Amino acid sequence: MKSSDIFHAYRYTPVFLKARQHDSGVNQYGLKPVNAYDFINPTNLVNFGRGTSFDNLGVRRAGRGEIDSSPSLGGSPVFTQAKLVGLSGEEQLTMCQSETMALRVCMARGGQDTCERESRALDACLSRVGHLRRAMSEACGEFNDWFIQNVSDNHTKPFQHRPHDWRHFYAQEKLVRERQQNGHAYGRRPKQFSFGARYVKTEGYGKRPRLPYNK
C-alpha cells in the first residue's frame, strides 16, 4: 500500500460515508492515532506489512498463512496454539505406542508369523485416534478464535521482549547511580575485577570494585 492510495481513497469516498465507513478505531485515512507513538510514526497506522488492505485496517491481522496472520500478545506473535493442545512440538501426544511397538517387534522377529493380530490391534487404535485428533484440533481452533477476539492485540502494541524496549527503565537505574556520584558518571560501570581478585590481593588498590567516580 502506498501513501497515494490513501489520498485516492479520501478523494473518492463520498462525504456522507466518511464518518461511518469503519469502526471507531478507524478513520478514512487508516487507523486512528491513539498515543504518541502513532503521531511520531504515522506509517504505522496505514502499512503493517503484507496483507494490508482497507477492509483489514480495524483488525491488524493479514490473511491466514501470511506474515502477521497470527494473533499477538504484547506486540509479539503467538503461534504456540498447536503445541499447547499437544498436536505438535516436543510434547506432542504420541498415541498407539504400545500397539505400534508390538507390531514392530513382531515384524522384526520374522519367520512364518504374519502379525495379523498386532496389525488389527493397531488399526483399531488408529481408527479411534483420528476422531480424537480432529476433536483436539477443533478445540485448538475454538481457543484460537476466542484468543483473537478477547486477548490478542493484533500487533498494535510496541514490543516488550527485547532489552532496548525497556531503555527508559534501565535509564532510571543509571540516573540513581549518577545521583549517588554527585551527578557525574551517568551510565558508567565499576571496572570488572578478575574472578578471585577480592580473595587474593593483599595490597595495592581495594579489594572491591568502587563507584567509577571514586576512581
From first to last of its 215 residues, the chain has per-residue pLDDT tens of 565 666 666 667 666 555 555 567 777 777 788 888 888 888 878 776 666 666 666 666 777 777 778 888 888 889 888 898 989 889 999 999 999 999 999 999 988 889 999 999 999 999 999 999 999 999 999 998 889 888 888 777 888 889 999 999 999 999 999 999 999 999 999 988 888 888 887 777 778 888 999 87
- Within 10 angstroms of residue 62's Cβ, the number of other Cβ atoms is 19
Backbone dihedral region of 89: left (phi > 0), alpha (psi from -120 to 50 degrees) or beta? left
Backbone dihedral region of 182: left (phi > 0), alpha (psi from -120 to 50 degrees) or beta? left
Cβ within 8 Å of residue 102, ≥6 positions away: 118, 121, 122
For residue 19, the model assigns a pLDDT of: 54
Retrieve residue 175's grid coordinates: 540516573
For residue 3, the model assigns a pLDDT of: 56
Tell me the HSE value of 55 on the side-chain side, using a 13 A CA sphere.
1
Helix and strand numbers, DSSP H then E, in the chain: 8, 2
For residue 131, the model assigns a pLDDT of: 94
Round to whole Å and give the CA distance between 27 and 46: 11
For residue 4, the model assigns a pLDDT of: 64
Q: What are phi and psi of 147, to 5 degrees?
A: -65, -45
**Distance of alpha carbon 19 from the chain centroid:** 34
CA distances from 211 to 74, 168, 201, 202, 204 (A): 36, 22, 19, 21, 17
Q: Are 60 and 155 in contact (CB under 8 A)?
A: yes
Residue showing cell 549518577: 178
For residue 7, the model assigns a pLDDT of: 65
For residue 57, the model assigns a pLDDT of: 64
**Distance of alpha carbon 118 from the chain centroid:** 44
Q: Are 4 and 29 in contact (CB under 8 A)?
A: no
Retrieve residue 20's grid coordinates: 461511518
Domains of the chain, residue spans: 3-69, 79-159, 163-214
Retrieve residue 7's grid coordinates: 489520498
Residue showing cell 498447536: 82
- Within 10 angstroms of residue 57's Cβ, the number of other Cβ atoms is 21
For residue 111, the model assigns a pLDDT of: 82
- Within 10 angstroms of residue 65's Cβ, the number of other Cβ atoms is 8
